[in-house]
Structure formats: C-alpha cells, structure tokens
C-alpha cells in the first residue's frame, strides 16, 4: 500500500493513496497520522491494507482526486533520521574533490550521521534558504521507515522492522560543510530540512525490485526540467538497508517512525549522471581543473522520482523550487 499525509496539524492527516497515485481515501478511521499508525503497526497495517485493496479495486466511492500540492510530508516530523552514505562512488568522488582518501574501513563499517528529523518539507514545498552563497545542492536518496527496533538488534531483526520505503531530497548547503566538518562534530547548519516523497510504500509494493533490502531501480533527478542523472540504486550499495538499520541501532533502540537513509545514489559508471551537484562539479574539476556547473540559485527547481519496470511512478515526484528566505 501507499501512504501519505494531507497538510493539517503538526503531523498531517494520514491518507491511503491508490497505486496509480490518482486517488486517495482518508485513513482517520484507522489512525489520525502516519506516526500513530507506525506506533501500532500490527493493528493498523491490516486495516490500512484492506482500505488500500478496496481503493485499488475502485470500490471506495469516497475516494477523492489526489492534489500533490495539498500533501504534507508523509511524516511531517519524526523522532530520528539517520542518514547513511552507502553508495561509495559518491563518497569517493566527494572526498577526492577535497583531496581526501576513502579509508578501508568505509567498506566494512557504514558511514552514517544523525540528521535533523524535526521537520520535513512537503514534496512540492519550496526550499527556503537565506543566501545563495551557502552553495545550495540537492541529494536524491532512498529512505526506509522502521518500527520499534531493539538496541543491538541483529541485521536480520533490523531488516524485519523496515515497514515503509520512500525517497528523500536531502538538501545540502555545500559551502557551509567544510567549516562545519572541520569542527569535528558533523553536520548541523549545512543540512537543513529535507523533503520526503509524496508517498511512502510498503516493501510488497516494490515486487521483485526489492531484494535483500536493496531497491533495484534507477532514481531519476531533473534540474530545472533537464535530465540530471539516473543512477541504479541496485548497483554500488555497499550496505543494504537492514545493515544500515542495525548500524543505527547498535547502541540505542530505534522508535517507530525512525527514518534511515541510503545516502546519495551513485554508480561507478558516471555516464548515468549523478544525484547531486557536488558530484557533477567534482567530475568537472577532474576534467578541467575547475567546476563549471553552479550550485542552485533562487528559482531553480529539482525533480526526483523513481519508476517501476512498467514505467509507473512509485512514490510520486518530489518537485521543489529554491526560495529566498527573509529572516
């Protein structure tokens, strides 16, 4: 099934969306919000699934047309967002850009950081930024949402708690990153609010494309309407989602509704394009000694989506414009 949230209240209003993303039914009879459903998933999921099946069969006369601009993030806020960096070609390129090596341990121990989870932008919301000087970039990624994961859970147990899958535009302020990372405590100001895809889906919606907690499909990014990249998320993922969730839970339990990210999707094959500007600029530096593609400016737009084998949009499209924020 596919789940989303209408704007309204701090946690939105849970809706069940049809497979073709055309219609929806409010889920208030089961749970007011997605967070509430996740906290009581074994009770909520069967009821939501039943509504989903009836909706897809055209049997819900109360179904309404879906307006993507009326959508909040499926989880407008969450208690934890742990973003991995599982596609090592991305890590290699970004580090090469600043003359750093990729340590051997990166191939055996996932790279992951504590990201902000207090607010996610709606899938069609503008991205507010104070200054273009921050070096505004997008990052196209996949996320999973978990149930309650016990501390120090095994990879297998962690994998069983992957309840939903979606996309994220992990907005990055590149020019703030070097000074922030130099302080040694990770990202803070350089990673503002991100946007999740219009809907999150249960793994069964992905069919054969979901294998061993890896999503084997291409993720498409378009910058100002032009194709930017379509790397295959099934290639070069060094750690699968079960491993990423287990890594996140090594010294703490994860609560229902925790979001774990894959990191920017990237392949060894650079002809498939990239999922962020930083990588494209890196290749330009290698070729010409300097980048020619600028970071995003106010008014620039980014579109991120994933299609299934039949060419159908799975999660809906993230489509955002960068907007000047006046403090």
Q: Which residue in 78, 223, 245, 302 binds its own copies (CB under 8 A)?
A: 78
**Residue 28 lies near its own copies (rule: CB under 8 A):** no
Nearer to its own copies, 19 or 95 (CB): 95
Nearer to its own copies, 47 or 175 (CB): 175
CB contact at 8 A, 231 and 272:
yes
Q: Which residue in 1, 44, 153, 237 binds its own copies (CB under 8 A)?
A: 153
Residue 283: C-alpha distances to residues 89, 151, 206, 276 (Å): 12, 40, 33, 12
Please tell me whether residue 318 adopts helix, strand or coil conformation. strand
**Residue 240 lies near its own copies (rule: CB under 8 A):** no
**Residue 181 lies near its own copies (rule: CB under 8 A):** yes
Question: In the range 243-282, which residues lie near its own copies by CB under 8 A?
Answer: 247-248, 250-255, 258
| Binding window for its own copies (CB under 8 A); candidates: 50-58, 188-196, 215-223, 299-307 | 188-196
**Residue 298 lies near its own copies (rule: CB under 8 A):** no
**Residue 156 lies near its own copies (rule: CB under 8 A):** no
**Residue 132 lies near its own copies (rule: CB under 8 A):** no
H or E segment at 34? helix 34-39
Nearer to its own copies, 128 or 291 (CB): 128
Nearest CA to 154 among 257, 251, 250, 259?
250
Nearer to its own copies, 55 or 256 (CB): 256
**Residue 34 lies near its own copies (rule: CB under 8 A):** no
Neighbours of 269 (CB within 10 A): 12
Q: Which residue in 46, 58, 186, 207 binds its own copies (CB under 8 A)?
A: 186
**Residue 134 lies near its own copies (rule: CB under 8 A):** yes
Nearest CA to 138 among 110, 168, 158, 98?
168
Nearer to its own copies, 75 or 201 (CB): 75
Angle, CA 42 vertex, CA 36 and CA 119 arms, to 5°:
30
Question: In the range 157-176, which residues lie near its own copies by CB under 8 A?
Answer: 173, 176
Q: Which residue in 23, 60, 90, 193 binds its own copies (CB under 8 A)?
A: 193
How far apart CA 244 and CA 82 sit, in angstroms, is 9
Nearest CA to 195 among 23, 69, 20, 31?
69
How far apart CA 250 and CA 143 sit, in angstroms, is 19
Nearest CA to 284 among 297, 296, 295?
295
* Length of the chain, in residues: 327
- Binding footprint of its own copies on the chain (CB under 8 A): 10, 39, 77-80, 82, 85, 103, 105-106, 109, 111-119, 128-130, 134, 150-154, 173, 176, 179, 181-190, 192-193, 247-248, 250-255, 258, 325, 327
């Amino acid at each position: 099934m596919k789940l989303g949230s209408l704007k309204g209240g701090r946690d939105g209003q849970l809706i069940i969306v049809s497979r073709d993303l055309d219609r929806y039914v409010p889920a208030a009879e089961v749970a007011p919000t997605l967070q509430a459903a996740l906290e009581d998933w074994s009770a909520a999921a069967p009821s939501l699934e039943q509504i989903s099946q009836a909706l897809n069969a055209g049997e819900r006369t109360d179904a309404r047309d879906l307006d993507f601009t009326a959508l909040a993030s499926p989880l407008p806020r969450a208690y934890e967002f742990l973003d991995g960096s599982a596609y090592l070609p991305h890590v290699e390129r970004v580090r090469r850009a600043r003359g750093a090596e990729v340590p051997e341990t990166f191939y055996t121990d996932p790279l992951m950081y504590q990201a902000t989870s207090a607010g996610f932008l709606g899938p069609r919301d503008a991205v507010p930024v104070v200054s273009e000087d921050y070096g505004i970039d997008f990052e196209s990624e996949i996320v999973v949402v978990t149930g309650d994961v016990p501390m120090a859970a095994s990879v297998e147990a962690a994998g069983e708690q992957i309840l939903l899958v979606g996309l994220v535009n992990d907005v990055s302020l590149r020019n703030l990153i070097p000074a922030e990372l130099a302080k040694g405590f990770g990202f803070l100001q350089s990673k503002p609010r991100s946007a999740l895809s219009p809907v999150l889906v249960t793994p069964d919606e992905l069919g054969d494309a979901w294998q061993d907690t890896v999503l084997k499909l291409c993720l498409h990014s378009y910058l100002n309407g032009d194709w930017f990249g379509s790397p295959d998320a099934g290639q070069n993922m060094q750690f699968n989602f079960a491993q990423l969730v287990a890594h996140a839970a090594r010294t703490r339990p994860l609560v229902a509704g925790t979001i774990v990210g894959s990191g920017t999707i990237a392949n060894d094959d650079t002809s498939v394009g990239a999922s962020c500007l930083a990588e494209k600029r890196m290749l330009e530096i290698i070729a010409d000694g300097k980048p020619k593609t600028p970071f995003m400016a106010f008014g620039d737009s980014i579109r991120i989506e994933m299609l299934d084998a039949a060419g159908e949009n799975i999660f809906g499209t993230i489509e955002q414009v960068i907007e000047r924020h006046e403090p």
